[in-house]
Amino acid sequence: MSALRRRRQRDAWRFLTPEVEREAPALAAALGSADSLALERELARLVVDGSEREWFASLRRLRVLLEAAATSGADRRTTGRLARILLDQYLLAPSVHDLDPDDEAELAALRTLVADHGRATADQTA
C-alpha cells in the first residue's frame, strides 16, 4: 500500500458528517454540560491536528455528558438532537475503521438515547 493511500485511510475519519463540530458545542452548552466556546475550539483542534482515536474519545465524552443531562431531566428536544448527531458518527464509523467492542457499546448506548429522547422532537411538535 502506498504512503498516500495509508494517509488517506488514516485521515478518513475527518470526512464524517460535520454536525458534531457545527452543532454539538451549542447543544452541550444548552444542556449545561460544556462551555460552548471551549468545546468548539477542542473539536476544531481535533479536526485539524487530532487523531481518529482522539476524535472518538471526544465523542464518548460527549455521550457521557449527554447521558448525565438526560437523566437529570434536560430538554428532550436538545438531548434527542445531540444523541442523533453522535449516533450518526457511529453509524458512519464502519466506513473509516472496523468497529471494536468499545464502538459497539457506544452505538448501543446512543441507540438507547435516541429511542428514549429522539422522539421528543416529533412528540413536542404534535
Q: Is 71 exposed, middle or buried (0-12, 13-18, 19+ CB in 10 A)?
A: exposed
pLDDT for 120 equals 53
Q: pTM, whole model, 2 decimals?
A: 0.85
7-22 pLDDT, tens digit each: 556 788 888 889 999 9
Cα–Cα dist 69/46, whole Å: 24
Whether residue 96 has pLDDT greater than 80: yes
- Find the distance separating the first CA and the last CA of the chain, reported in whole Å: 54
86, 19 in Cβ contact below 8 A? no
38-88 pLDDT, tens digit each: 999 999 999 999 999 999 999 999 999 999 999 999 999 999 999 999 999
How many C-beta atoms lie closer than 10 Å to residue 72's C-beta? 10
